[in-house]
């Protein structure tokens, strides 16, 4: 697993160790690669922690070998950073993905490769409903790098170097920790800050719609994505995960229902034209029937997402 010290990587690593098996095979070794030392499964004899750069071909050559059965490729710099630091984004998001595929090819074990892509591969003039077959028209460098990596994964799959699966994640929320610079950061802040007793400012009007998924279902989907039989995928390896489409106003209402009016009163609204402009490019509606037919699941609604956060990340509060 690359990016194993991150938000989703840490949770996925713990899930894999707890399950002890993946697609009917036991998890004998879990290699956690990240520039930061991954802490999941510390002391577990099955875990090998590798600290290093996913864009370092020598390191990848040592890390991926003939025993590698499944690769979860999560390492990335996220959208705001890839936009601000173009070369860095290209190196990690594009070169890293490409070099990892080359390492898999060299290893010869034809591993399943689960790649976390993003709905940022879409943009511009979109159809009313986005499906798995909607053209990739990224409007950011991050989205461009993810789209290129998707294409490379498809080609390596076609050539028989890997057995690739691309999961396009909605905005994963609630992300614990500090607010970050992502334009979509308020999708976590609107729940996280009020529950921490802190006020939060939402930079878009309540009508703005988002496409969200809890970390629980993001991790469940990564596991399910790895377990999908290749024959079920057909001509396309890329799947939009079943998120919840919810307006920001409904998010605040869900918070009030789940956590009470006192908590919800900590949400305030002040429009930020820069964020609003980005939000205006987000697709409106999604058709994820292919994902559902493949057995992939998402949250019932935003209330469930708020509850999942409280259970998983704020157990002392309950």
Ligand X SMILES: NC(=O)c1ccc[n+]([C@@H]2O[C@H](COP(=O)([O-])OP(=O)(O)OC[C@H]3O[C@@H](n4cnc5c(N)ncnc54)[C@H](O)[C@@H]3O)[C@@H](O)[C@H]2O)c1
Which residue ranges make up the site for ligand X (CB under 6 A)?
2-3, 5-9, 33-36, 53-55, 74-78, 92, 96, 116, 118, 169, 171-172
Q: Does residue 309 carry a catalytic annotation? A: no
Q: Where are the alpha helices (DSSP H) in 184-247?
A: 186-195, 215-227
> In this structure, what token pair is assigned to residue 215?
């970390």
Output the smallest distance, CB 161 to ligand X, in A: 20
Question: Based on CB atoms, which residue is closest to ligand X, 151 or 265?
Answer: 151
Going across the sheet that includes 209-213, the strands are 171-172, 209-213, 244-247
Q: What six digits make up the tokens of 90?
A: 């290209």
Cβ at position 262, least distance to ligand X in Å: 28
CB of 267 to ligand X, least distance (A): 20
294 binds, among a copy of itself, ligand X, none (CB under 5 to 8 A by kind): none
Phi-psi region at 78: left, alpha or beta (left = phi > 0; alpha = psi -120 to 50): beta
Choose among a copy of itself, ligand X, none what residue 154 binds, the Cβ cut-off being 5 to 8 Å by kind: a copy of itself
Place of tokens 């461009």: 144
The structure tokens listed for 144 are 């461009």
92 or 254: CB nearest ligand X: 92
Are 92 and 149 contacting, i.e. CB atoms less than 8 angstroms apart? no
Measured from the CB atom, the residue of 43 and 235 that comes closer to a copy of itself is: 235
Whichever of 132 and 313 has its CB closer to a copy of itself, that residue is 132
Beta-carbon count within 10 A of 312 CB: 14
| Smallest gap from residue 148 Cβ to a copy of itself (A) | 4
Within 13 Å and on the Cβ side, how many CA atoms surround 107?
26
Contact region with a copy of itself (CB under 8 A), list: 36-44, 71-79, 137-145, 246-254: 137-145
Residues belonging to the active site: 142
């Amino acid at each position: 697993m690359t990016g194993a010290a991150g938000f989703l990587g840490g949770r996925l690593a713990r899930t894999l160790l707890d399950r002890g098996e993946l697609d009917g095979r036991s998890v004998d070794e879990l290699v956690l690669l990240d520039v930061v030392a991954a802490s999941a499964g510390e002391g577990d004899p099955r875990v090998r922690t590798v600290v290093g750069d996913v864009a370092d071909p020598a390191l990848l050559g040592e890390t991926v070998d003939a025993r590698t059965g499944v690769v979860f490729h999560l390492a990335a710099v996220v959208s705001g950073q890839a936009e601000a630091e173009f070369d860095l984004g290209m190196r990690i998001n594009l070169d890293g993905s490409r070099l990892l595929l080359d390492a898999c090819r060299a290893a010869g074990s034809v591993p399943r490769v689960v790649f976390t892509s993003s709905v940022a591969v879409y943009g511009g003039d979109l159809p009313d409903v986005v499906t798995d077959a909607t053209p990739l028209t990224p409007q950011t460098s991050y989205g461009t790098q993810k789209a290129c990596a998707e294409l490379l994964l498809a080609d390596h799959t076609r050539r028989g170097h890997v057995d690739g699966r691309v999961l396009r994640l909605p905005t994963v929320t609630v992300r614990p920790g500090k607010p970050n610079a992502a334009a979509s950061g308020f999708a976590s802040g609107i729940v996280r800050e009020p529950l921490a007793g802190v006020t939060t400012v939402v930079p878009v009007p309540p009508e703005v719609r988002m496409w969200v998924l809890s970390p629980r279902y993001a991790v469940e989907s990564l596991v399910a994505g790895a377990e999908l039989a290749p024959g079920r995928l057909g001509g396309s390896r890329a799947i939009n995960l079943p998120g919840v489409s919810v307006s920001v106003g409904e998010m605040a209402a869900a918070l009030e229902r789940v956590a009470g009016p006192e908590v919800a009163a900590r949400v305030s609204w002040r429009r930020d034209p820069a964020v609003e402009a980005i939000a205006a490019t987000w697709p409106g509606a999604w058709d994820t029937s292919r994902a559902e037919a493949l057995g992939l699941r998402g949250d019932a609604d935003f209330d469930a997402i708020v509850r999942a956060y409280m259970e998983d990340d704020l157990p002392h509060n309950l």
